[in-house]
Every structure is written in C-alpha cells, then in structure tokens.
Amino acid sequence: MTIETLLDAVRFNDDGLIAAIAQADGTNEVLMLAWMNRDALRETLETGRVCYWSRSRKGLWRKGETSGQVQHLVEARLDCDGDAVLLLVNQKGVACHTGRRSCFYRAMRPEGFVDTSAPEISQEALYGR
C-alpha cells in the first residue's frame, strides 16, 4: 500500500479539491475547514505537517508558514463517500487568522451573531502587520 493508492480512493471535486476539517486531537475542538488538492493531501500524509490548497492564492498553503501556528497531523480519516477528510491535529497556538483557537466562533442566535471565543493573540503578533 502506497500513499498514491490511498489518494486514488479520494473523490476530489471538479476543481480537484476535497474539503478538510481540522480537529484538535484530545479536546476534539473543530478548528477550521479548508481545502486540499491531491498534492496537499499527499504532502500532509508524507510529512505529517498539514498542508492545504489556498483557493485565493491558488497555491499550496503550509499552515503556519507565515503565522507559525502549524498543525501536526495525528491521523487523517476519509469519510464514507470519499469527498471529505477529517484531520486530527496537534495545533500549535491558534488556528484562526483572527487569533482565536477556532474559526467557528460566530454563533447564529436569535439576537444576532455572538462570539463564542475571544482572540488569544493579536493579528499583529501573528502576521506582523
């Protein structure tokens, strides 16, 4: 069994991408959802460091390459129909560009959006701007 055989089972969409959910190993907190192409998933499985595909920059996005907030892969789990992957990760620091641990912090409530967490680090500290 090679990584290519594993990758052959993945059903990438018409854009060559698969949705990837990053979940914190241990706490099970869902950190973010991003996208991977075959190269990104291969690199992630080979190196153990999570690499996504940036749809905006149209390039491989090694999580943390700018911010230092890297994700180390514990296990990747493909879903039943092969078009989504769950990444159990050890997240260094925070996953969200806003400085929050998780990107999913905007609770949709009758009174409007309510933040469920606060930034743990400033964007300036993350990105130097």
**Residues in contact with its own copies by the rule CB under 8 A:** 1, 5-6, 9, 19, 21, 23, 27-30, 32-33, 45, 75-81, 84-86, 96-98, 100, 103-113, 116
Using DSSP's 3-state secondary structure scheme, residue 129 falls into: coil
DSSP-derived letter for residue 38 is H
Minimal distance in Å, beta carbon 76 to its own copies? 4
Q: Check the annotation: does 115 bind a ligand.
A: no
Please give the backbone phi and psi of residue 42, each rounded to the nearest 5 degrees, phi first: -60, -50
CB atoms under 10 Å from CB of 115, counted, come to 11
Q: Say whether 39 counts as a known binding-site residue.
A: no
CB of 51 to its own copies, least distance (A): 14
**What CA–CA distance (Å, rounded) separates 118 from 99?**
8
**Residues marked as binding for Mg(2+)?**
79, 81, 83
**Residues marked as binding?**
79-81, 83, 96, 103
